[in-house]
């Protein structure tokens, strides 16, 4: 199953009061494995940058003034997103800004049914624990030493690793059972994952090798007995 993990940077906290999205970073995953495809862009918000926001992400109004407006890149972004589920940390925030920009650009907003919120997943898995991206990276041993300031693509790349850990780690669906593999549920909806997901592999799809007989030769057994005999008080003797 294809998913897109994304993050945004903004001028503030609320698009309803005039705040705008100034950066977006997206990471493509298929079967919970990063494909290497990403999307990253800065946007001119046509407004000032509050100093509080600039301290968080380091993006100044002067820097963004040379960047394209969201409407100029909307088609390219939507082509990358396609119809994939969109994974974000505190996803309601990012969806709010993304859909606000789409509305300003005269485009249809993205359905909230596609939203996967890693904060909600983490809250269910680690009740009472700190749920920030930094805290989850520390919990799962994910290196974030290069994260000096917030950055949309960097944060999306870190979140992709966190998302894998939150949804079962790198050993999702190894298929080490004799019967058909159980289809994992999507963590945010409880719905079964589609059968084209790369991490869903029914046992009947996997070539199986007949068991091979394996036994020690008489020479190996003789050497083993001689070795045991040389161990004082060996519990294996007799």
Write out pLDDT tens, residues 98-146: 999 999 999 999 999 999 999 999 999 999 999 999 999 999 999 987 7
pLDDT tens per residue across span 176-217? 444 443 434 444 444 444 434 333 344 445 566 676 677 788
Beta bridge partners, 8, equal 24
Q: How confident is the model at residue 21 (pLDDT cuts 50, 70, 90)?
A: very high
**Would you call 102 helix, strand, or coil by DSSP?**
helix
- Write the DSSP assignment of 168-233 as a string of letters: TGGGTT---SSSPPPPPBPTTT-PBPPTT-TT---GGGS--PPPPP----HHHHHHHHHHHHTSTT
Q: Give pLDDT, residue 116.
A: 98
Helix axes 118-125, 152-166, angle to 10 degrees: 40
Percent of residues, the chain, with pLDDT higher than 70: 79
CATH of domain 2-171: 3.30.420.10
The two three-digit tokens of residue 126, written as one number: 């680690």
Average pLDDT of every residue of the chain: 85
For the chain, the domains span 2-171
Which H or E run contains 86?
strand 86-88
The residues annotated with a catalytic role in the active site are 150
Q: Give pLDDT, residue 191.
A: 46
């Amino acid at each position: 199953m294809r998913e897109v993990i994304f993050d945004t940077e903004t001028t503030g906290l609320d698009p309803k009061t005039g705040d705008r999205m100034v950066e977006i970073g997206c990471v493509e995953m298929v079967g919970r494995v990063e494909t290497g495809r990403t999307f990253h862009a800065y946007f001119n918000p046509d407004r000032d940058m509050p100093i509080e926001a600039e301290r968080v992400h380091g993006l100044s109004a002067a820097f963004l003034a040379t960047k394209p407006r969201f409407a100029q890149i909307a088609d390219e972004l939507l082509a990358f997103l396609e119809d994939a589920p969109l994974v974000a940390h505190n996803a309601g925030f990012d969806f709010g800004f993304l859909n606000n920009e789409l509305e300003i650009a005269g485009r249809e907003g993205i359905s909230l049914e596609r939203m996967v919120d890693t904060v909600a997943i983490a809250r269910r898995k680690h009740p009472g624990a700190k749920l920030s991206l930094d805290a989850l990276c520390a919990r799962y041993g994910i290196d974030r030493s290069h994260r000096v300031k917030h950055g949309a693509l960097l944060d999306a790349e870190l979140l992709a690793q966190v998302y894998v850990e939150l949804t079962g780690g790198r050993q999702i669906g190894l298929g080490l059972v004799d019967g058909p593999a159980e289809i994992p549920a999507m963590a945010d909806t409880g719905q079964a994952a589609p059968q084209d997901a790369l991490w869903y592999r029914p046992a009947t799809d996997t070539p199986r090798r007949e068991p091979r007989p394996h036994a020690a030769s008489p020479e190996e057994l003789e050497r083993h007995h001689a070795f045991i005999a040389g161990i004082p008080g060996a519990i294996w003797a007799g």
